[in-house]
Amino acid sequence: MIHSLFLINNTGDIFLEKHWKSVIGRSVCDYFFEAKDKAGDPENVPPVLQTPHHYLISIYRGKLFLLSVIQSEVSPLFVIEFLHRVADTIQDYFGECSENVIKENLVIVYELLEEMLDNGFPLATESNVLKEMIRPPNILRSVVNTLTDTLPTGQLSNVPWRRAGVKYTNNEAYFDVIEEIDAIIDKSGTTVFAEIQGAIEACVRLTGIPDLTLSFMNPRLLDDVSFHPCVRFKRWEAERVLSFIPPDGNFTLMTYHISSQNLVAIPVYVKQNISFFDTASCGRLDITIGPKQTMGKMVEGLSVTIPMPKSVHSANLTATQGSYTFDLATKVLVWDIGKLNPQKLPNLKGSLSIQSGVPKPEENPSLSIGLKVQQLAISGIKVNRLDMYGEKYKPFKGVKYVTKAGKFQVRT
Amino acid sequence: MSSTALYNDQGGAETAVEAGQESTSSTGAAFGLFSADFKKNEDLKEMLESNKESHKLEAMKRIVGLIAKGKNASELFPAVVKNVASKNIELKKLVYVYLVRYAEEQQDLALLSISTFQRALKDPNQFIRASALRVLSSIRVPIIVPIMMLAIKEASTDLSPYVRKTSAHAIQKLYSLDPDQKEQLIEVIEKLLKDKSTLVAGSVVMAFEEVCPDRIDLIHKNYRKLCNLLVDVEEWGQVVIISMLTRYARTQFINPWKEDGLDENNETAFYDSDSERNQTEAKPYIMDPDHRLLLRNTKPLLQSRNTAVVMSVAQLYWHLAPKHEVSVVTKSLVRLLRSHREVQFIVLQNIATMSIQRKGMFEPFMKSFYVRSTDPTNIKTLKLEILTNLANEANISTILREFQTYVKSQDKEFAAATIQAIGRCATNISEVADTCLNGLVQLLSNRDETVVAESVVVIKKLLQTQPSQHSEIIKHMAKLFDNITVPMARASILWLIGEYCEKVPKIAPDVLRKMAKTFTTEEDIVKLQTVNLAAKLYLTNSKQTKLLTQYILNLGKYDQNYDIRDRTRFIRQLIVPSEKSSALNKYARRILLASKPAPVLESAFKDRDRYQLGTLSHSLNIKATGYQELCDWPTIAPDASVRNVEIIEPVNEWVPKAGKSKQRKSEKFYSDEEEDRDEAGSESSSTEDSSSSSSEESDKSSSASEKTSSESEANSIDLFALLCSQVTTSSFSPVKTYDLLHHMSAKGLAAKYHFPRQPCLYQPCMVAVQVILTNCSDHNLEEIHIGDRIPASLNIHCFNTIERLEPGAAVTVSMGIDFSDSTQAANFQLCTKSDKFNVSIQPVVGELLTPSTMTEEDFCMEQTFVFYFHCLSDIPLCFLCLVMGPSCR
């Protein structure tokens, strides 16, 4: 399936190559570079390319490209999903997936790639299994070079996602319910479209092989869900509870989607007025943000990002709260507000100057809003209880809720 | 080559950086200093030959670092290959990595390592066996093909499912190395397809797809098993199996799409026991239960976190499910749109194809396809494509309002695409044609040139559909002409004026005049249209334009572009009458001014449905290498009974393989686990039933686990102990039932038997047997009893005659048989009132023994005794045990 993999940085240097079948020369990447030049923005590079003898499927992540070479028909999503899994694994091992980190840990990354695919077909992609075969770099590994004498058993059991022989003195299980609001708000303030993307991120450190059951107060809210492989489909379908033997450590238990057909509460409103004048080469900007449906919680981490038209030269603004920056190279205006005070609404006001001789911009830029509300799941989902079977001890359990802005856009 | 050159340039800087790191941190040190490869390689060689393990490891790490960077390290081969037998696993792994990379180039030297792998293939540790096979099969050296073949065959019968999985991978590698081995490999695949382990399933289907995708007959017997295992297979395997099953289903089942309206009833009828509604239909379509099984078992996978799995289920439903059921995949596909950019791209492509045929599927989710200004352009245009596909009378006003926002986008490429989309909406939905046209005309005064140009092109197409009413627009565009510089737009305007020159009789000649001035500086496409315009005007209005036309044709005659010269020559012959002019001249007017059909604006994804959804071919819209067409449904369903699986053979295959004291069971899911436990030996017993689908077996699992735990205690003890332990633990083990009589061959009477492993009530020398009699026919069976025995001397304690057995009813009876301590079958007749059936019960050795408890000393004594016997003579094992039998009791 996957024949070779090249890791390429933003400037077009190939800094790692791995071949699972016979070796394919680097020149195959030239087709990719050609497409990359044509696309301009790295985000615009088509993920699937065709060359005379091969097919190239690539992803762009963390300022680097993972480019795989394919020789025959395959589901492109299969390859894309796998490449992202590679990036996830690198991130999991070293904290981030970037050129520097990979260069520093070249051998481990190469070994990982060797284990993840056999003859181009995924072999071990679960991080619990991989970590048993190839230890992540830590103090121990650098001190004692020979540590991987134990052989993994996870791959063989019926719970391939969990490593064997887990032991903790403090047994704890934490679940974070994280919801992101994706919305498009139009000029007049009406919601064009809004939906919620939720995820339950778990951090489970439990001894032995615990069997957990998580139930919700209002499972009806969840109409479209996807699960970590550990969750038993049948129990969910029959009883709407999550029953699973968790992997060890951090993982995403489930993600859910509450679609635009439902009503979604929008925590803030934005009053904005951006205008450019025909006559003078300047414009005016006035933005106010206020609370809308916050369910009595505090809105934090508020920020506004505005990609200004290229002709905007500089910005002369005053913010009643927080601070703003205007990047002259990318023409992005960022206003960092912080907490939203309902008594004194934050406001950003002032003038924009435009390069002289350039006609005024056609379109007003749209605003991206960032925000965070602690202790609230905006959809109203609530975890009812968590039970553990199969082990005797009493674990420490915790659930946390947080709502964030996802792709939250205000058109102007 | 430029990239390598670049790379070397960087070398210096990199070294400096990394040398700096070396002094501060010990971890980075291993990968520094590559600038002078040739010198470094010398010291690497020294390090590899040193006695210190840590030096070797260090050297190997640096070498692998070189490989990862794509540098040549092949000259170190002899030094590296020496370490292949190293005890240090970490070092060994790195050597393996090196070998796989360079073996192809250094075939002779690579052969030196083969014996190490051959030895490792026999290792008691399954991981070592598996990794040996993995590396051996990755060495692409043709000489070792026979060795690989042998290793694969052996590994495919290995007790460890992990090793069997590896062998399935090795099949593909061997096949690509030497396709001549195909026949033999197919045999191995056939064997592995029967495997019941979830670990193996995905890999073997992958091998099947690679080696012999056309041997669909191999799947029949395994079809149901694969469907049932699917949920528990690892995610990558799921994708492969689903795509294979999609193809399989298209060859084996009949088309469920024929009567769309009626399908709904069918489905419920199929599930509900009352099939009344079904019967009322005139021509019912009844879905094959196996077809339904596939759909039912794949549906939960829509909830997978793996986007490739979700997509493959979606395409399965698209290609196989009755039309009204396809929409279950919609939500999941829309969910994928939140994933990474690349995933979005592929999913949107597939939705675009789907939405052409089935608007209804995605219409409720229209808003999910609204474009954000932060989306990359290719995502934006795909979303636009889908929105356009979804447009209908009801939602067009909403969509057009959205489009208005998009037209103003700073991303001009996207704005242009939006204008195209508006054009498509206008042609598809006649109600809004005028609104769209007006909107587009307004855009003509837009400041951005690409927007104007695109509008012109689209307006041109729209006008063609209803030219009579729009002479104003044409005039307006003629006015704009001077300011437009985009060639395509200029050409479009020229064409419009030419085509409808009679509607704008005053303007047209003037435009031609302007063009005559600038002709030489125009783009080719504009020149061609100028020539066209000239020709048309010459025919309709020759008085005013004769000279202009002559002038333009003369310019065109000497143009650099041969297309233009060619066109000019053609037009001149066609329109200018001369003595040499051909017969065509008469028809010039009819040729040039014929009314042209309006262009049809349709989706770029219109013809993509010829490819299977979710494939590479679909994504690229060309046939990719190795793409397999999805065939049409058969008109008549092939025989469904080919998928019936014969009932498990009565002879249990638990005679242990040489030296390994394990027992293979035919249980479904935890078979893997048990074998695993025998090796690992230390896992606690609560891993049971992690797989959600095995819930129906959970009642058995507890007993099974007890059994394994007791077995693993006895693990290290040998053969004799095994035989005893089977008996000792027998009362806990799941009951294995054998077939005595199949209902097909016995007019509806089915009989199964098992050994309850309890002392026989009737006589001590007898073995207790329980027989389950089931009436599978639709009439009563009477007087079921045991008839003649062969040999007649056979001592059987019969059950009482059963007077009557209702249809569907079952009864369990016990009997005792004296096998006289031999494994010979007991043959007898099972009779009903009207028929007699010959049956036979073949005992397995283990069933003939009774349990006994003994102390360790006793056991050791007995053991030496047995071994003494065993060594002295070639007495068959079973006989030995029988000899031991009485003493055990």
Counting every residue, how long is chain A?
412
Q: Is the dihedral of CA B42, B44, B45, B46 positive or negative?
A: positive
CA separation (Å) from B547 to B289, B538, B572?
80, 9, 13
List the alpha helices (DSSP H) in B639-747. Answer: 671-680, 698-713, 719-728
**pLDDT beneath 50: ranges in chain B:** 1-37, 260-282, 648-733, 871-889
Lookup result for tokens 């070398």: B11
> With an 8 Å Cβ cutoff, are A409 and B619 in contact?
no
C-alpha radius of gyration, chain A, whole number = 25
Pick among B177, B616, B683 to test the A interface (most A CBs inside 10 A): B616
Q: What is the pLDDT of residue B314?
A: 94
> With an 8 Å Cβ cutoff, are A43 and B332 in contact?
no
- Rounded Cα distance between A6 and B6, Å, is 16
- Rounded Cα distance between B801 and B813, Å, is 10
Three-class SS of residue A64?
Answer: strand
> Which pairs from B31-34 meet CB under 8 Å and 24+ separation?
B31/A103, B31/A104, B31/A106, B31/A107, B31/B61, B31/B62, B31/B65, B34/B65, B34/B66, B34/B69, B34/B71
Nearest chain A alpha carbon to B236 = A122
- Rounded Cα distance between B178 and B752, Å, is 47
Q: What is the pLDDT of residue B678?
A: 40
A319 vs B: CB within 8 A: no
Q: Whole-prediction pTM value?
A: 0.74
Neighbours of A139 (CB within 10 A): 8
C-alpha radius of gyration, chain B, whole number = 40
Nearest chain B alpha carbon to A193 = B367
Residues paired with residue A388 on neighbouring β-strands, in sequence order: A212
Amino acid found at B438: N
Angle CA B796–B798–B800, to nearest 5: 170
- Rounded Cα distance between B753 and B771, Å, is 4
Collect all residues of chain A within an 8 Å Cβ-Cβ radius of residue B344. Answer: none
pLDDT tens per residue across span A258-279: 876 667 888 888 988 888 887 7
- Rounded Cα distance between A163 and A135, Å, is 13
Task: Work out the mean pLDDT of chain A and round it to a whole number.
Answer: 86
Enumerate domains of chain A plus CATH numbers.
2-156 (3.30.450.60), 172-263+378-411 (2.60.40.1170), 268-373 (2.60.40.1170)
Collect all residues of chain A within an 8 Å Cβ-Cβ radius of residue B695. Answer: 234
In sequence order, what are the residues at sequence separation of 6 or more whose Cβ sits closer than 8 angstroms to the Cβ of residue B138?
Answer: A119, B100, B103, B173
Three-class SS of residue A31?
Answer: helix
Helix (H) or strand (E) holding B67: helix B53-68
CA separation (Å) from B780 to B531, B784, B812, B833?
94, 11, 17, 10
- Rounded Cα distance between B639 and A113, Å, is 45
- Omega of the bond prior to B142 within 30 degrees of 0, cis? no
Q: Which of B340, B414, B350 is nearest to B384 (CA)?
A: B414
- Rounded Cα distance between B810 and B586, Å, is 94
A336 vs B: CB within 8 A: no
Q: Identify whether the C-beta of residue B759 lies closer than 8 Å to the C-beta of residue B745.
A: no
Nearest chain A alpha carbon to B176 = A21
CA separation (Å) from A12 to A68, A107, B68, B247?
15, 21, 17, 40
Pick among B342, B371, B372, B682 to test the A interface (most A CBs inside 10 A): B342
List the alpha helices (DSSP H) in B429-561. Answer: 433-443, 449-465, 471-480, 487-499, 507-518, 524-540, 542-557
In sequence order, what are the residues at sequence separation of 6 or more whose Cβ sits closer than 8 angstroms to the Cβ of residue B313?
Answer: B242, B298, B299, B301, B302, B304, B329, B332
- DSSP one-letter string for A341-410: -SSS--EEEEEEEE-TTSPPPSSPPPEEEEEEEET--TT---EEEEEEES--S--EEEEEEEEEEEEEEE
Tokens of A387: 């039970």
Tokens of A86: 């590679």
A37 vs B: CB within 8 A: no
> With an 8 Å Cβ cutoff, are A309 and B410 in contact?
yes
Q: Which of B879, B846, B857 is nearest to B728 (CA)?
A: B846
Q: What is the pLDDT of residue B246?
A: 92
- Rounded Cα distance between B319 and B246, Å, is 8
> What is the distance in angstroms between the Cα of A319 and the nearest Cα belonging to chain B?
25
> With an 8 Å Cβ cutoff, are B626 and A72 in contact?
yes
User: Nearest by CB to B342, which of A59, A148, A159?
Assistant: A59
3-state SS of A81-100? HHHHHHHHHHHHHHCCCCHH
> With an 8 Å Cβ cutoff, are A110 and B377 in contact?
no
Q: Tens of pLDDT along chain A (412 residues)?
A: 899 999 999 888 898 999 988 888 888 999 999 999 988 888 888 999 999 889 999 999 888 999 999 988 899 999 999 999 999 999 888 888 888 888 888 888 998 898 888 888 888 888 877 877 777 776 444 444 444 445 555 455 667 788 777 888 889 999 999 999 999 888 888 888 888 899 999 999 998 889 999 999 988 888 788 998 889 888 888 888 999 999 888 899 999 988 766 678 888 889 888 888 877 678 888 999 988 888 888 888 999 999 888 888 888 889 898 899 998 888 899 999 988 888 889 999 998 888 877 777 777 788 999 999 998 888 888 999 899 988 888 889 999 999 999 889 998 7
> What is the distance in angstroms between the Cα of B410 and the nearest Cα belonging to chain A?
7
Collect all residues of chain A within an 8 Å Cβ-Cβ radius of residue B409. Answer: 363
Edge-to-edge strand ranges of the sheet holding A347-354: A268-276, A282-291, A347-354, A312-319
- CA B83: distance to chain centroid? 39
CA separation (Å) from A248 to A128, A245, B392, B700, B862?
7, 9, 50, 28, 47
> With an 8 Å Cβ cutoff, are B203 and A121 in contact?
yes
- Rounded Cα distance between B69 and A32, Å, is 19
Nearest chain B alpha carbon to A142 = B27
Edge-to-edge strand ranges of the sheet holding A55-61: A14-19, A2-9, A64-70, A55-61, A48-50
pLDDT tens per residue across span B654-710: 433 333 333 343 333 433 333 433 443 333 333 334 444 444 444 444 444 444 444
Instruction: Please report, for chain A, how many H helices and E strands are present, in that order.
Output: 7, 23
> What is the distance in angstroms between the Cα of B718 and the nearest Cα belonging to chain A?
25
Burial B609-648 (b: 16+ CB within 10 A, else e): eebbbbbbbbbbeeebeebeebeebeeeeeeeeebeeeee
Q: Identify whether the C-beta of residue A258 lies closer than 8 Å to the C-beta of residue A379.
A: yes
Collect all residues of chain B within an 8 Å Cβ-Cβ radius of residue A193. Answer: 367-368, 370
**ipTM of the modeled complex:** 0.91
Tokens of B760: 């026989």
Collect all residues of chain A within an 8 Å Cβ-Cβ radius of residue B340. Answer: 59, 61, 80, 84
Pairing relation of β-strands A172-185 and A396-410? parallel
Q: Identify whether the C-beta of residue A229 lies closer than 8 Å to the C-beta of residue B235.
A: yes
Task: Find residues 124-153 of chain A whose CB sits inside 8 Å of chain B.
Answer: 125, 137, 142, 145-149, 151-153
Q: What is the pLDDT of residue B854?
A: 65
- Rounded Cα distance between B422 and A123, Å, is 48
